[in-house]
Amino acid sequence: METADSFIPTAGVVGIFPLVTYFFLVVATYISLGNFVFALATRTNSDPPQSLSPILTAIISVIAGLSYYQLQEHYHDMLAELATVTIISDRQTLIRESYNAIGQYRYMDWAVTIPLLLAQAVFMLKLEAYARKQALITLLAASFFMILTGYIGHQQLSFDNEILTGPKLLWGAISMIGYAVILRTLLQLWKSVFIKAQPHEKRTYRLMAYVMGAFLALYPIGYILTITPIDFNWIHIGYTIADIVSKVGMGLLVYSVATKPAENKL
């Protein structure tokens, strides 16, 4: 029996970088499930609509945990096959083709979690009910459109699993329409509330911008990098870190706001 068939292959046969990538995927699974437990265990009696935010954190975390469980399982299978490949160019081809297959789970995850993250951001802003409703409709529709069209672009592959550059860039450009709407809407919202905000509120809004920016900045970069000869493990790691920063970071912000004294709540 080959060790790779039942256990995690070692760096001696697959290389250190693939194992570092696998490490990040497994750790992201644990962090997501831990964040789910934390969200359930620390629910507070916040005022509406902020009272919905901890529930959204739990939903986001369990979906991310299930998604990363699938990612690491399939990546482990790829590592077992990588252990049998000795030619460097063939190893890179396997890593690239496996990314095209495994990466589908990211889009399925994002189609649910990114709209929910944006909803959390809206709930944390001091908005009038009508403005909040309009923002939620716009952001949820734009984010789902962005991820769906990005997923279609991700699937622009030839029969031998090579990326079709032209069609992928076309669908990427279409996806950026939703991306632009999200950025424009968030900027308008934050400008409208930032002027009237108290100093402690402004600090929270800045942190929200950093958290959301972790994913929104890396998403188009990772998409474009797939048409370059880069080692796709870099994209796996980049997306994984951005996922954890945005999803766990927003959950911690929700918790910090909910546990402030009543006079300091947003």
Please state, in angstroms and rounded to a whole number, the distance separating the CA atoms of residues 156 and 161: 9
More confident residue, 105 or 202: 105
Of the ranges 6-10, 181-185, 235-239, which one carries the lowest mean pLDDT score?
A: 6-10
> What is the per-residue pLDDT for 86?
86
Place 47 in a pLDDT band, splitting at 50, 70 and 90: low
> What is the per-residue pLDDT for 180?
93
> What is the per-residue pLDDT for 235?
95
> What is the per-residue pLDDT for 265?
46
Q: What is the crossing angle of helices 104-124 and 199-225, to 10°?
A: 160
- Residue pointed to by tokens 């750790």: 27
Helices (H), the chain: 3-6, 11-14, 16-41, 53-82, 88-102, 104-124, 129-154, 165-194, 199-225, 233-258
Please state, in angstroms and rounded to a whole number, the distance separating the CA atoms of residues 120 and 46: 14
Please state, in angstroms and rounded to a whole number, the distance separating the CA atoms of residues 142 and 165: 24
> What is the per-residue pLDDT for 238?
94
The tens digit of pLDDT for each residue in 208-266 reads 878 877 778 889 999 999 999 999 999 999 999 999 998 998 888 877 776 665 444 44
* Most confident range, picked from 49-53, 68-72, 188-192, 253-257: 68-72
> What is the per-residue pLDDT for 140?
95
As a residue count, the chain comes to: 266
Domain count, the chain: 1
For the segment 145-151, the average pLDDT, to the nearest whole number, is: 96
The tens digit of pLDDT for each residue in 113-132 reads 999 999 988 888 877 888 88
DSSP three-state, residue 260: coil
Place 13 in a pLDDT band, splitting at 50, 70 and 90: confident
The chain-wide mean pLDDT, for the chain, equals 87
Which structural domain, as residue segments, surrounds residue 72?
3-264
Please state, in angstroms and rounded to a whole number, the distance separating the CA atoms of residues 18 and 27: 14
Residues whose CB is less than 8 angstroms from the CB of residue 124 and which lie 6 or more positions away in sequence, other chains included = 50, 53, 204, 208, 253, 254, 257, 266
Cβ–Cβ < 8 Å for 169, 163: no
The token pair that represents 189 in the structure block: 């919202």
> What is the per-residue pLDDT for 206?
78
Which CATH number covers residue 254?
1.20.1070.10
